[in-house]
């Protein structure tokens, strides 16, 4: 019998397979965010079309980044994913990111069971270099047209660094 009191958690961080919830599909310029208080997704704003997301964007449940929001995830897939679904994802790295002076890291993941691609992506080095450049460009410039706020991609980290970022975010969640 199903336990209806189970709540989605971050998953198996040490094993490198985490749970991720999709907020924004690849190619969308809608800034959709999870509203924790209302337990719904909401449209926060519409970004200029030129700044559509270069990959799916979501969050890891039961985590908090230093900015007070759930820890973000960049989900690499061939096709856009639908807002609101969750997937088991394989951690392949982290983009160390600062948004308006606040740490706002992005864990990079791929579907854990991606048989069509032979689970080819195990680290950031496995991704096409051009995709990494597009992601970095997007996050370095998406606030340019607003002329408000600053964003900085500080560095990229490996799987182990990503796991540490996730563990720290889980601890923040527990401490809240």
CA torsion sign for 47, 89, 102, 38 is: positive
**Type and span of the H or E element at 172:** helix 159-175
Find out whether 144 is annotated in a ligand binding site: no
Find out whether 113 is annotated in a ligand binding site: no
Q: Pick from 32, 53, 29, 30: which is nearest to 41 by CA? A: 32
Find out whether 45 is annotated in a ligand binding site: yes
Find out whether 12 is annotated in a ligand binding site: no
How are beta strands 106-111 and 71-75 bridged, if at all? parallel
Find out whether 163 is annotated in a ligand binding site: no
> Which backbone phi and psi does 2 adopt, to 5 degrees?
-70, 145
Residue 40: other Cβ atoms inside 10 A: 10
Query: Cα(119)–Cα(68) distance, rounded to whole angstroms?
Result: 33
Q: Pick from 33, 27, 73: which is nearest to 51 by CA? A: 27
Find out whether 121 is annotated in a ligand binding site: no
Which residues line the annotated binding site for Mg(2+)? Answer: 67, 72, 104
Which residues line the annotated binding site? Answer: 31, 45, 57, 67, 72, 104, 142
Which residues line the annotated binding site for substrate? Answer: 31, 45, 57, 142
């Amino acid at each position: 019998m199903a336990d209806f009191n189970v709540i989605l958690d971050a998953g198996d961080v040490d094993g490198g397979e985490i749970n991720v919830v999709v907020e924004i599909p690849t190619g969308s310029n809608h800034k959709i965010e999870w509203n924790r208080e209302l337990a719904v997704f909401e449209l926060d704003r519409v970004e200029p079309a030129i700044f559509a997301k270069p990959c799916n964007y979501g969050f890891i449940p039961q985590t908090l980044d230093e900015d007070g929001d759930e820890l973000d995830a960049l989900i690499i897939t061939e096709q856009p994913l639908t807002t609101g679904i969750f997937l088991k994802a394989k951690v392949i790295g982290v983009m160390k990111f600062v948004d308006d002076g606040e740490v706002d890291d992005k864990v990079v993941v791929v579907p854990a069971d991606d048989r069509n691609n032979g689970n080819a992506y195990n680290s950031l080095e496995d991704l096409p270099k051009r995709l990494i450049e597009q992601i970095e460009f997007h996050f370095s410039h998406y606030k340019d047209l607003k002329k408000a706020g600053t964003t900085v991609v500080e560095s990229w980290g490996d799987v182990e660094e990503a796991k540490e970022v996730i563990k720290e975010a889980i601890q923040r969640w527990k401490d809240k």
